[in-house]
Amino acid sequence: DRRVRDTPISENTIVGMGVGAAMLGLRPVVELMTINFSLLALDQIVNHAAKLRFMSGGQTSVPITIRTRTGAGMGAGGQHSDMLEAWFAHVAGIKVVVPSSPADAVGLLTSCIFDDDPCLFIEDALTRAVTGPAPPPGHRIPLGKANVLRTGSDVSVISYGRPIQDVVPMAERL
């Protein structure tokens, strides 16, 4: 009861409360149903969460994790299918992660929660249904480091998120 809060459907308020809680020493995880709704909280995400460390000369950290969903191909309509991760990747001060497997989801989410900077954890809607082995307790994946799934010498294929499910088998065939 003390750790989970129901909020009104007001994305700006949800993220704003999370930013305030993070500034007071908590490590909130706020959830926005789809990344499209993050646009309603853009000021809180971009101008507050991501910039407070810079604006305070490094004295204020904002360890907030904003968890959301993205992706097309599920019949959710155009208003719920934008893929805005590239927008956010261009914002100084925020880390953007997109898991490609269940183990990645656990490891990246855990790393985001324990990071001192704001993180945007974006799950592809289709990847949420993927099953796989559970990682060991305490599993973390370093943020900002590529996960090299296969090495070679002829072609480099770079991908992230749900397309990894297509790219790896294709590389095996080739």
Report the distance separating Cα 42 and Cα 87, nearest Å.
11
Instruction: Look up residue 23 and give its two tokens.
Output: 């500034």
> Tokens standing for 165?
């499910």
Pair of tokens at residue 54: 């810079």
Based on the residue annotation, tell me whether 80 is a catalytic residue of this protein.
yes
C-alpha pair distances (Å), 90 with each of 84, 93, 95, 105: 11, 9, 10, 22
pLDDT in tens, the chain (174 residues): 777 888 888 999 999 999 999 999 999 999 998 898 899 999 999 999 999 999 999 999 999 999 999 876 666 666 666 778 889 999 999 999 999 888 999 999 999 999 999 999 999 877 777 888 889 999 999 999 988 888 888 888 888 887 888 888 888 887
Cα–Cα distance measured from residue 167 to residue 159, given in angstroms and rounded to the nearest whole number: 8
Total Cβ atoms within 10 A of residue 91 = 18
Catalytic residue list contains 139: no
Contact of 95 with 53, CB cutoff 8 Å: no
**Hey, what are 81's tokens?**
């299918």
Report the pLDDT value the prediction gives residue 129, as an integer from 0 to 100. Answer: 78
Residue 5: the pLDDT is 82
**C-alpha–C-alpha distance, residues 85 and 127, integer Å:** 15
Reduced DSSP (H G I as helix, E B as strand, rest coil) percent helix, strand, coil of the chain, to 5: 35, 10, 50
- How much is the pLDDT for 56? 92
Cβ-based burial of 93 (10 A; exposed 0-12, middle 13-18, buried ≥19): middle
Among the options 31, 48, 80, 123, which is catalytic? 80
> One of 11, 48, 85, 123 is an active-site residue; which one?
11
Specify the pLDDT at position 80: 63
| pTM of the predicted structure, to 2 decimals | 0.88
pLDDT of amino acid 82:
73
